[in-house]
Amino acid sequence: MSVAPQPTAYVNARLIDPASGHDGLGALLTSGTKIAALSSEPVPTDLPDGTRLIDCGGHVLAPGLIDMRVQLGEPGAEHKDNIASISRAAAAGGVTSVVALPNTDPVIDDIALVEFVARRAREVKLVKIHCTAAITRGLRGEEITEMGLLRAAGVLAFTDGTQAVANALVMARALEYATTFDALIIQHPEEPSLAADGVMHAGELSTRLGLPGIPAETEIIMIDRDLTLAAMTGARYHAAHISTAAAVERIRQAKADGLSLTCDTAPPYFALNELAVGDYRTFAKLSPPLRAEADRQAVVAGLADGTIDLIASDHTAQDQDSKRLPFDQAEPGATGLETLLQLTLELVHNGSLSLIQALAKLTCRPAQLLGLPMGRLAVGTPADLVLFDLDRPGKIDTEQFHSKSKNTPFEDRLVQGRILRTIVDGRSVFESPDS
Amino acid sequence: MARGYSAPLMMETRTRLAFRHRHLLGIEDLDPDEITLLLDLSDDYAERSRERPAKLDMLRGRTCINLFFESSTRTRTSFELAGKRLGADVINISVAASAIKKGETLIDTAMTLNAMHADVLAVRHSSAGAVKLLSEKVNCAVINAGDGSHEHPTQALLDALTIRRRKGHLQGLLVCLCGDIAHSRVARSNIHLLQTMGARVRLIAPPTLLPPQIERLGVEVFHDMRAGLTDCDVVMMLRLQRERMQGSFVPSVREYFHFYGLDYDKLQHAKPDAVIMHPGPMNRGVEIDTAVADDIDRSLIYQQVEMGVAVRMACLDVLSRDPFESNP
């Protein structure tokens, strides 16, 4: 048994709790694995004996980030990332809860795999690793998984991860069946028959580069179908990584009409557009693809007005052999755990979002959606925290990445914000080497 | 280094000063002066190739490798002949699908060739951007001999040279490209080259064979061939791949030929002296009527093949020159 961490007081901190909207100087006391007290005095005088003091220097202390879409790599692709490297990357990125996609090999479609991931996470013991499970067995899009048993085993939601459930009947049954367990169904919204062999956004640039395109309409078609099915079944539906203006507008309208649905996006879709593909840069090959500038702007607007509920990293490690290929043959995906906070803070620094709004999309919103007890600064909740310098300028340096793979389209990007410390269950799991 | 090159000194000096690219990866990277320079040099080589003996020696001791990841007879033969006419040692490598299955990647192949110290590589690959990727990994000049649906610069140069020799100029001409634009690297390279040189470009195709937002490249788009051909100076037909004829992009060969096949009936809408071109190999009766293809007054299809060798000689010559070599 591990020893409970020593009571620790984080003093002189700018406490931000997006769930309550609180933002002010104060102190936070942890005891064991939980938040024990909150104080509006920067340095409280009534601390229990033996309390360790950590001076936050006026920097932001917020709930640790909850990243609801991460590819673990383990089992099956441990050379790209494994649970240990993912955990270190998450800790370095201020992410205290990782939610894994089922796109492993074998697929997470059975409780044995859920237990395997939980055991490995316990062994590594850095950040919390939760699972989503496949909607369909083997991600084949045919038979639904044992949702009840998987839910009981701790699975937070169901998704076929990086591929859409294409068959409307299978999706209808999955949504219908999921209502029995109040399970959340997450879709990769892309109509595969229209996306066909496309490898980037369909438009002028794909035409110039001679690459087959994925029309923006692939996203809205799938969302339209799913909204109809969700309304029919009453299921909880979430659309992953929204990338197009049309989809943002449709979801905005659906929410205004009272439909209960949620969606997210990932940093590449608000921080980059298709031009990042440039001269066949495979690090900018993503799924969904980077879209046009108008789409990027619509995604930012959707984040600002709440149409897009939250932000996930879409962390997908790819080794060199999967990326150093002609563009059409390269694997899609980019790492994201270690750039999630800085890129989201860009939206704060450029005035698109308030700091509270931005942090909410990384903390309390995913917690609410997935039914997790953390993501807030509240007494009695898990002491999962991130301490960061909001303004410190820096550059994204892949040499510093803890992920086994370095495939990011953001290399050398100038950013503002640095993670100083990450705390999970009251224990520091990351400290910036030069904080 | 002493060279056997006997062309006028002016030309050589001008060439070295004006062509600043290490590789020839696409027409989109070239400016009008660079294109003119390549065409002028090609023109010169076209004349010399007609003399006997045609063989020259400015690439003596140099090694040219034709690296083809996709089968091709014409383009490979044209590069081979061009290299040999300049006195180079030419090696053809066909990388069959089997080698790829063995796990050798494009980068592995590039590194292997790099170790052999070739001077110029002419590369064809079925993936757009693959030739550029390879060019970043080798220490020699690379000519794109066709990459996926992206570019085929020597084809556009030979088309332009053929037109220029017939019409005297490119500026102001109205050129129609007809057929499968969506999958055509020839179309993309030609659009860039013709527009850069001041010609107007029209595309004629059913919407299924046009790539998205192609009009943003500054071309006019027509779905009606007769309307599109009206008043044009040059008709360039493109090949329709067999696998795209049976319903996936167009419903049938019969329907395609009826609306988009070039015959005398449709051709009469073009200018009376309009010429006909095709990059080959032709599908007679699919995109072009046999009688039109063989019309010796109007069809330039075989001149294109001849100019192909001259253009590739010029490209090999320019790219194998040492940019730091001092002028005697």
Nearest-CA distance B11 → chain A (Å) = 33
Distance from CA of B107 to the nearest CA of A (A): 8
How many angstroms separate the CA atoms of A234 and A180, rounded? 11
Could you confirm whether B132 is annotated as catalytic?
A: no
Q: What is the pLDDT of residues A249-293, one digit of tens each?
A: 999 999 999 998 999 999 999 999 999 999 999 999 999 999 999
Q: What is the pLDDT of residues B62-88, one digit of tens each?
A: 999 999 998 888 999 999 999 999 999
β partners of residue A214: A201
Q: Rounded to an integer, what is the distance from CA B133 to the centroid of its chain? A: 20
Q: Contact A51/A29 with Cβ under 8 angstroms?
A: yes
Give CA B315 to chain center in angstroms.
Answer: 11
Give the residue on B whose Cα is nearest the Cα of A278.
B129
pLDDT for A7-19, tens place per residue? 999 999 999 999 9
Q: What is the rounded distance in angstroms from the CA atom of residue B238 to the CA atom of residue B231?
A: 19
A343 DSSP assignment? H
**Mean pLDDT to the nearest integer, B146-165:** 98
Q: How confident is the model at residue B248 (pLDDT cuts 50, 70, 90)?
A: confident
Would you say residue B8 has pLDDT above 90?
Answer: no
- Whether A352 has a pLDDT exceeding 80, the answer reads yes
H or E element that contains A8: strand A8-17
Question: For position B326, what pLDDT does the model report?
Answer: 41
Using alpha carbons, list the distances in angstroms from residue A42 to A16, A98, A157, A306. Answer: 13, 31, 39, 32
CA-wise closest residue to A392 among A415, A411, A410: A415
C-alpha dist (Å) from residue B56 to A249, B4, B88, B315 = 66, 8, 9, 15
Segment B281-292 shows an average pLDDT of: 93
Distances (CA, A) of B222 to A428, B177, B201: 66, 10, 11
Predicted local distance difference test score (pLDDT) of residue B1: 38
- Span B88-103, mean pLDDT? 76
Neighbouring C-alpha atoms within 13 Å toward the C-beta of A324? 15
Q: Which pLDDT does position B100 carry in this prediction?
A: 60
Q: Is B129 within 8 Å of A211 when comparing Cβ atoms?
A: yes
What pLDDT is stored for residue B2 in this prediction? 42
Q: How big is the CA angle at A334 (ends A331 and A339), to the nearest 5 degrees?
A: 175
Please answer yes or no on whether B127 and A207 come within 8 Å at the CB atom: no
The chain B residue lying nearest A216, using CA atoms, is B212
For the cut 90, the answer to whether the pLDDT of residue A201 exceeds it is: yes
Specify the DSSP element, H or E, that contains B90: strand B89-94
Residues of B with Cβ-Cβ distance to A207 under 8 angstroms:
211-214, 216-217
**pLDDT of A3:** 56
Query: Beta strand B234-237 with B275-277: parallel, antiparallel or unpaired?
Result: parallel
Distance from CA of B139 to the nearest CA of A (A): 18
Residues B309, B44: Cα–Cα separation, whole Å? 12
Tokens of A329: 């043959």
Say if CB A407 and CB A325 are below 8 A apart. no
Neighbouring residues of A435: CB distance < 8 A, sequence distance ≥ 6: A389, A418, A420, A421
Q: Which residue of B has its CA nearest to A215?
A: B212
Q: Is A108 left (phi over 0), alpha (psi -120 to 50) or beta?
A: beta
> Residue B215 — φ and ψ, nearest 5°?
-65, -20
Say what the pTM is: 0.93
Q: What is the rounded average pLDDT of the residues A354-374?
A: 98
Query: What would the pLDDT profile of A178-195 be if each residue is shown by its tens digit?
Result: 999 999 999 999 999 999
d(CA A264, CA A101): 15
Percent of all residues in chain A with a pLDDT value above 90, rounded to a whole number: 96
Interface of B with A (CB under 8 A): 28, 105-107, 125, 127-130, 132-133, 147-151, 185, 188, 211-214, 216-217
Residue-averaged pLDDT of chain A = 96
- Reported as a single tens digit per residue, the pLDDT across B170-185 is 999 999 999 999 999 9
With the CA atoms of A32, A38, A43 and A49 taken in that order, what torsion angle do they form, in degrees rounded to the nearest 10? -30
Task: End-to-end CA distance of chain A: give it in Å, rounded.
Answer: 31
What pLDDT does B6 receive? Answer: 47
| Residues of chain A with C-beta less than 8 angstroms from the C-beta of B217 | 204, 207-208
Q: Measured between alpha carbons, how far is B217 from B201 in angstroms, rounded to an integer? A: 10
**DSSP state letters, A395-434:** E--GGG--SS----TTTT-EEEEEEEEEEETTEEEEE-TT
Position A171, amino acid: M
Query: Secondary structure of chain A: what % helix, strand, coil (to 5)?
Result: 35, 25, 45
What's CA A148's distance to the chain center, in Å? 24
Residues 6+ apart with CB under 8 A from A429: A91, A96, A126, A127, A422, A423
Q: Are A135 and A185 in contact (CB under 8 A)?
A: yes
The sheet with strand B63-68 has its strands ordered as: B89-94, B63-68, B120-125, B141-147
Average pLDDT over residues A221-225: 97
The neighbour count for residue A411, using CB atoms within 10 Å, is 15
A321–B130 C-beta distance less than 8 A: no
Average pLDDT over residues A156-165: 96
Does residue A434 have a pLDDT over 80? no
- Chain B nearest-CA distance from A142, in A, is 26
pLDDT at B98 over 90: no
Q: Which residues of A touch B (CB under 8 A)?
A: 202-204, 206-213, 215, 279-280, 321, 324-329
* Phi and psi angles of residue A164, each rounded to the nearest 5 degrees, phi first: -85, 150
A251 SS3 class: helix
Burial class of B99 by CB neighbour count within 10 A (0 to 12, 13 to 18, 19+):
middle
With beta carbons less than 8 A apart as the criterion, state whether B262 and B292 touch: yes
Q: What is the pLDDT of residues A272-282, one digit of tens each?
A: 999 999 999 99
- The single-letter code of the amino acid at A230 is A
Q: What is the spatial distance between Cα A239 and Cα B211, in angstroms, rounded to a whole number?
A: 29
Return the pLDDT at B112: 87
**Mean pLDDT, residues A376-388:** 97
Quick one: pLDDT at residue B51?
87
